[in-house]
Each structure stands twice: as structure tokens, then as C-alpha cells.
Structure 1
Amino acid sequence: MALPWLESVPVWGDDKPKNSASEAPVRFAALFSGNGFHSKEWWARGEGKQLELGKVLDPLKPHREKLLFLRGLYNQEALIGGIHSCQTGNLLTGAHLAPDGEIRSGISCDQVIAEKTKGATKVPSLVLGTEPSIAAIHKNYSMIYSSHISWSSATTPTPLELYPALAFDRLFRDEVGRADKSVLDAVREDATSYKNKVSTADRRRLDEYLSSVREVEQRIEQAGKGGRLQGWRPTLDKPDMKRPPDGIPQDIDQHMRLMCDILVLAFRTDTTRVCTLKLNNDHSSLRFPHLKVDYMIHHLLSHTDGADWLKVNQFFTEQVAYIARKLDAVQEGERTLLDNSMILFCSSMMTGNHNNDQLPVVMVGRGGGRIKTGRVLDYLGKPNRKMCSLYLALMEKAGVRLNEFGDSKEPLAEI
């Protein structure tokens, strides 16, 4: 585990107060809610403290000044096929989806960021969910598309972790593998074998070299204990929650909350900087007895557009608000962890009627101070309103600069 970030301890080699080496990294999370939202209650107007939100977004009111409401964005490739599967499988990729049961999308933006930050954290990315994948065909498209938003390659959805305990273990279990050993220990076997093949003088040189490596390692270790390691350090060096029980929680509210806690903990400890949380499948069968809405599954409920549908929508938004509240309570220098994050909340259709000519999209967090929030950005009717243009802009905030992604070659300039 990394050492905690200490505001009062000077960082060795960091002469300037705002040197980028001492700034907290930008984290990215995408939270997905299937089947869209209430047709009359997803809206925003105004700005700053006066930003007004529709009832679906009511739980996010305390964070309105750190919120960005994006209207009119869409995914061109999702208009080509039918409903559900081919609306969701390319949500974060913008890629063309293969029909006829074949599995082919594209690499998703979260995995592009994860590849860029690989090696900087213990876990490149965390991919969480609360509902298992569906192995079926719907409207000529595999329902694997309905079950995944994160893709490691064009043909491979990133494995979805449904078990809170296993997600916790992946982040914090301390099994020592080859990559976790010291440099000297990792190469000892090879070095010993090599020493038998060289001259006496070379063996002496090799011994001197290995001794120097050990000395460097010891100096690094002591520098860490003295709080002088160069660069930013997280505020938390070990989990502050117990390992969740084995198995999948039977109550969906507890399941979602555990996954939210794990996301927050992963960001606080800098164990990963990239996470997707699929709160449910696009063609979801979840029920909500804790809301007294257990007479109909989520997918069918989405077609009612009534009071219970709004209640369920708000429950999903509450998960985003919970994450935002927890992140905003963590101070990282001059900013909070929420300020240093980009939390995307969206669905693959506007309402339960499958309309996706524009998508419901909200961002919470300021991307390390690089995103001006407390605004409504309306792209409806504008030439560049692609979701992939949004991803290009967000990836740039995370340090990943691409000329194109998915179907876009132009980031949203206003982000």
C-alpha cells in the first residue's frame, strides 16, 4: 500500500508549491443506470448555486456547484441496430457492434485511461457490477452488450466483478508475487545463473552492481519512512472498512452501497484511478423491495414512467450522490478528492421508450481543477455532439491525448 499524502511534510525534490509531481492524480469513474430515466424529470437549468435540477437528479443538489449537466449528446453507432443490446455495448466505445450473436465492439475509454496509468497503481482499473451478464440474443444482438460497458479489446468485455469481497481482495490482498518483490530479489535467480558464466572480474563487478541496487532500495525505503519520497501520496494507506462478507448481498441497496464504498476506498488509497460501476444491466431484472417497488422488474417498470419509476431513478442517483459526498469529504491539498475526480453518470437511452437520439449525461467532479462545473452545456442541434467527443475531452484531463476515439476526432471544447 502507498504512503498517505501529508500536506505538512515537504516533498523531496519538489521546489515549487504546485509542481505536478505533488498534485493528486485525476480519477475517472463511469456509473451506468439501465433503461433511461423519467421522461419529465431529467433536466437542469441555471448555473452555480442557482442551478436547478429535475427530480431524478434531486439527490445531487448538494453538489450542484461541482456538477456538469450535458444535454443533446448521442452515440451515432447506437442508432444503427435495434434496442437495448446495441444501445449499450458501445456506450463507452462508440464502435460499431457486430450483430448475429457475434461479439465485437471496441476498447472503452476507461480501459484506454487504465492502460495509460498502468504501473502507477496496484490495479489498472476496477470494473464492478450488481447484476450478472445475460447470455442470450435480443433483436439479433448478443445481450453480452447489455451486460457490459467496459471493454478491454474489441472482442473482450472487461470481466465484471459482482462480489464485493472479491473486489476488496483484488484491491488489498497482499499476496506477494514476482512483481511485488524488490528488484534484487526478483532477479536473484537469474543473476546467480549468470554469475556462473562470466569471469572472476565480471562476477566481482556483478556483485558490486547488485550491492549498489540493494543500497538504492534501502535509501528509497528510508526516504519513504521519512516522508520524503518524491511525488503525491494518497490520504489513506490501508482500508478503513472491513472486508465484505463472501457471496453476493441479497438486498440490492446493500449490494450497491458496498460497491460504492469500494470505489471510494480504491480512489482514496490510490489503488486504482479508473473504475466503472454498472448499477444494473440495460435489460435489467432487478426489483426494489426496500422501496416497496417489487411488483415489477426494472426493465418493465421503465415503460410506466410513473411515480415508482421516479422513486427507483432517485435511488440510482443516490448512489452517485453518496460517492460524491464521500469523495468531497477527503481533502487532498487545496482540493478535495471529488475535485480531483471525474464521475460520469449516464444511461444508454433517454427514457424507457428506447429513444437515444440524445442521452442523459451528468458529470460530477472537477477533473483536478480542469473542468468548470455548475453549468448546463446544451449540444442539441450542434454539429459536434458525440459522446466520443466527450470522452476525448475527459481522457485529455486524465493525461491521455488522442487524435481520435470511436467516431470522433474533436473533443468537446467547452469541457
Structure 2
Amino acid sequence: MGVVYVPNGMAMQYWTPKSEGTAFEVTPILQSLEPFRDQVLLLSGLKLPWDVAPHAGGSTPFLTGVVGRTGETNIVCEISMDQVVAKQFAEHTQLGSLELALEDKGNSGQCSQGYSCVYLNTISWRDSRTPLPMESNPRVVFERMFGDTSSTGASARGARIARDRSVLDSVSDTVADLKRKVGARDLGTIDQYLEAVRDVERRLQKADEQREAPLPLVEQPAGIPTRYDDHARLMFDLQVLAYQSDLTRVITFMMAREESSLTYPEIGVPDAHHPISHHQYDKTKIDTLSKINTYHVKLFADYVQKLRSTPDGDGTLLDHVMLLYGAGISDSNVHKHDNLPILLVGGGSGTLKGGRHIRYHKDPPVADLLVTMMDKLGVPVDHIGNSDGPLAIDALSV
């Protein structure tokens, strides 16, 4: 399962098809996804609950369905959908999940409207008090996936596993000795530490089992590329590699943080993204925003193509993956959190039927979609956040 989040809203008139069902027209922003039409499900009319928070109200409830609180340190949310799924899948993989981004975490402290910048910098929450940082450096991501090795080669991976196991054995012996010496008050802390050690042991066991699995030879990245598109493609390539090697089955990815002021000189947009998104309904500015939106979708489409080109079991990675692509803001000029731009892409191992545009009425919450996705992923829940129940996505219209 993967989530790709885009910030600062969407030029909706260039995103939303006028028609519904299977005969929907491909809009300008979505043009690059036309080759994958049969595995694209376009959903219109969904809503998020945090209307009073302009940008935090997009990113924070996107995978949680809940609202945060004002203040720099009063940071509260709930576990996000990806982490619920990760807890279930983690027993089968070395890594429970990966949280990735194309932009550094940016500001700390308070951002707009008195809300903590934390709400803008992540879409993943381990629990109500633990926002997960999104890693933007591909070298760090590679090291988390394969350790401090030069490449994905089997010999390099084997040497890393042996080194890590030696260190782990030493740590385990030291902690066991310490546990015999400390008082009862400190035993709880040591037990928590030992639980983390056992998780590392599980990951090493999985790494050992997968050591001989064939992987494309990939060299360790040097760092963050200068160009945005090079950075994006490298991070998407690492995601393909993570799925291909079954290192994790859960990845969240922010194309940029909310309130991002990235510029896109690669496509002739030297102005900052966030100010452009406040277009005051000026057609020239909306067209520029659409250019950015189209660029993001094109990079995503390149990723989808790689998933379709990668064999996996009796099909391809695209046949088996379930990708949620979208934004937590629709009309960026007024920070609307309804009628959001949302796509489901992939086959979901036979659980998803694409090639359709479904338009919902009465503003069903995005959290209803999360409940449906989790059910199709084999992690059923009654609700998450403000959900009312599962969202019907198998019908032509709702």
C-alpha cells in the first residue's frame, strides 16, 4: 500500500472530469495517467473534517480523519491509517513502513493560524502524540533499507547482516547483565528497550531469509539531487525497490509539505508554489498552478509505469499494489477541504476495479475511504477518525 500526497490544493477545473462512470474524459492534469486508465479509480466529493485549519486541515486528517489543536507544543492527533496497516504487515517484512518526502521538514514552532508546523510536515502518525518524520534524503532511505552498504549486492547485504548481528549480540548480553543489577523501578525501562532489541532481531532474521533474493544492482545514492524531478524519480525508484524486495508493504510519500514554497524552474515556474496557489481566480495564475499539478502527476505516472514494468508473482507490482494519490485541499484560494482530488491506482491484488469516475454526494469523509481500503488490504476496522463506515467504491455512481 502506498500514499502519495500533494500540497497546496489543485486547479480543480483542470482535474475533475465532467462525466461519471466508465466514459469519463481524461482532464489535462490527469493526461499522463491515460495509459493506466483501467487501473485508475477517480473519486470526487470526499471531505476532510478540519475546516478551520487552512493547510494543517489538509495534511493532518488525510490519513487520520481527526483534527489537531492550536499551539506550538499542544500537538495531538490519532494513529494514521498507514500505521494501522503497518502494524499488521510488519511481521512479514524487515521494515514496518517508510515515510518519505521531497522537501525537508521546513519550519518548527507555529505556522499559519497558530497551529504547529508539525501538522504540515507529515501525514503519518504512530499514535496520538507521535508524528512520524518524513525522510527526504535518498541516501538515508537507502541506508534504512539496506544498511550502510555500497549497493544492493548479495555480498554487501550479507556483510551488513553479519556486522549488525554481532553488534546486537553484544548489546543483548550487556542489557541482560544490567537487568540483574538494577532495581524494580528501572526494569520497566529496560523491558521497553529489550522490546526494541527484539524488533531488531526480527528484522535481522527477515534480512537473513531474504539475503539471496534477486535484486537489481543499485548503488547507494550520494545524497539529494539538485533538480526536483531527479529527486522525485530517485525516491520513487527506492519505493519500487522496497516493494520488489518486500522490505516493506507500506509507504507514505509527500511530494512537498503543506505551505510549500518550492519553485519549479524545470517546467518554467520560477515562482513559489504556495503564493501561486492563492490565485484569486486569476486565469493566468490558475494555469500556472495547473502546470505544477500536472508536473506532479507526470512524475507519479512515471512511477506507475515502473510498477507496471516490474514482474511480481503472477502479475506485476501495479497489479498487486494499492496507491492513494491526492490532496487535502481542493480550491487552494480559500483552502477548501471538500470535493477533494483523490485517486486510487493499482489492482490491489484483484480488489480494485479501475477505469471509473465516481462522484459522491453529501460530503462523505475521506476516512470512509480509508476504512474501505483497510478492508481490502485485509486489515478490517469498524472506523477510523470521523468515518461513518466503509465507502462504496465498487458501484458506478453513489
If the TM-score is normalised by the length of the shorter chain, which range does it land in? 0.7 to 0.9
Q: CA RMSD in A?
A: 2.8
Distance 1:314 1:355 in 2: 20
Alignment of 1:373 onto 2:354? yes
1:391 aligns with: 370
Indicate the larger mover: 253-262 or 85-94.
Answer: 85-94
Please report the TM-score for the alignment, with normalisation by the length of structure 1: 0.76
2:219 aligns with: 242
Distance 1:84 1:177 in 2: 46
Quick check: which has more Rg, 1 or 2? Answer: 1
Distance 1:156 1:131 in 2: 20
Gaps of 5+ in 1: 1-27, 194-220, 222-228
Alignment of 1:340 onto 2:312? no
Question: 261, 267, 271: which is aligned to 2:247?
Answer: 271
Any idea what the Cα deviations from partners look like across 1:148-191, whole Å, max 9, x if unmatched? 1111111111121110011011111243389968xxx899979x
Q: 1:239 to 1:169 in 2, by over 3 A?
A: farther
Alignment of 1:154 onto 2:128? yes
Partner secondary structure for residue 68 of structure 1: strand
Partner secondary structure for residue 12 of structure 2: coil
Q: How many residues align?
A: 342
Name whichever structure is richer in helix by fraction: 2
1:90 aligns with: 61
Distance 1:188 1:32 in 2: 40
Distance 2:142 2:307 in 1: 18
8 Å Cα contact 1:87-1:348 kept in structure 2:
yes
Give the C-alpha shift of residue 58 in structure 1: 1.0
Q: 1:359 to 1:180 in 2, by over 3 A?
A: farther
Question: 111, 128, 140: which is aligned to 1:137?
Answer: 111
Any idea what the Cα deviations from partners look like across 1:188-226, whole Å, max 9, x if unmatched? 979xx9xxxxxxxxxxxxxxxxxxxxxxxxxxx9xxxxx
Alignment of 1:404 onto 2:383? yes
1:56 aligns with: 29
Give the C-alpha shift of residue 71 in structure 1: 0.6
Distance 2:7 2:162 in 1: 38
Partner secondary structure for residue 357 of structure 1: coil
Question: 114, 118, 121: which is aligned to 2:93?
Answer: 121
Aligned identity (percent) is 32
Partner secondary structure for residue 344 of structure 2: strand
Distance 1:51 1:187 in 2: 59
Distance 2:162 2:278 in 1: 50
Question: 161, 179, 197: which is aligned to 1:176?
Answer: 161
Distance 2:39 2:349 in 1: 12
Distance 2:172 2:138 in 1: 37
Partner secondary structure for residue 368 of structure 1: helix
Gaps of 5+ in 2: 148-156, 178-204, 280-284
1:313 aligns with: 293
1:8 aligns with: none
Any idea what the Cα deviations from partners look like across 1:25-73, whole Å, max 9, x if unmatched? xxx110011011113111134555x542211111111111100000101
Give the C-alpha shift of residue 235 in structure 1: 12
Question: 317, 336, 339: which is aligned to 1:355?
Answer: 336
1:68 aligns with: 41
Q: 1:68 to 1:234 in 2, by over 3 A?
A: farther
Residue type of the alignment partner of 1:39:
M
Question: 269, 279, 288: which is aligned to 1:293?
Answer: 269
8 Å Cα contact 2:90-2:248 kept in structure 1:
no
Distance 1:407 1:311 in 2: 33
Give the C-alpha shift of residue 351 in structure 1: 2.5
Q: 1:187 to 1:100 in 2, by over 3 A?
A: closer
Distance 2:340 2:59 in 1: 11
Distance 1:138 1:169 in 2: 34
Distance 2:31 2:214 in 1: 34
Distance 1:128 1:167 in 2: 8
8 Å Cα contact 1:236-1:268 kept in structure 2:
no
1:207 aligns with: none
2:71 aligns with: 100
Please report the TM-score for the alignment, with normalisation by the length of structure 2: 0.79
8 Å Cα contact 1:342-1:367 kept in structure 2:
yes
